[in-house]
C-alpha cells in the first residue's frame, strides 16, 4: 500500500511544480538564465571543490601520510653501511 502511495505522490509532483507562479514570469526567466548561464560548470566546480579538499584531508587523517617504505621504494630500505678500509 505504501508503494502505491509513494508512486502516486511521485506522479503528481510535476503538476505542483508546474503550478509555481514564479517559473513563468520575467523574474523566473532571469533566475534560470543566471543559474544555467555560460559559467554553470565553473560554479559547479567551485561548489564541489571544498568537498574534494575535505575528502583529501579526511583520507590523510584516516590512512596517514604515505611514506617511501609503504610505497615499496628501494631507497627507503636500510642499506648496510660500508666500512672504509685503508
Q: What is the Cβ-side half-sphere exposure of residue 8, based on CA atoms within 13 angstroms?
A: 4
Distance of CA 17 to the CA centre of its chain: 28
Structure confidence by residue, pLDDT tens digits, 10-42: 777 666 656 677 777 898 889 888 888 899 999
**Is residue 69 exposed (0-12), middle (13-18) or buried (19+ Cβ within 10 Å)?**
exposed
- pLDDT confidence tier of residue 60, bands split at 50, 70 and 90: very high
pTM exceeding 0.85: no
Amino acid at each position: 500500500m505504501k508503494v502505491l502511495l509513494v508512486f502516486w505522490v511521485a506522479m503528481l509532483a510535476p503538476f505542483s511544480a508546474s503550478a509555481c507562479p514564479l517559473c513563468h514570469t520575467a523574474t523566473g526567466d532571469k533566475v534560470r538564465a543566471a543559474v544555467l548561464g555560460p559559467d554553470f560548470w565553473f560554479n559547479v566546480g567551485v561548489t564541489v571543490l571544498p568537498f574534494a579538499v575535505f575528502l583529501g584531508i579526511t583520507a590523510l587523517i584516516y590512512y596517514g601520510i604515505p611514506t617511501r617504505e609503504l610505497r615499496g621504494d628501494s631507497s627507503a630500505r636500510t642499506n648496510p653501511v660500508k666500512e672504509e678500509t685503508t
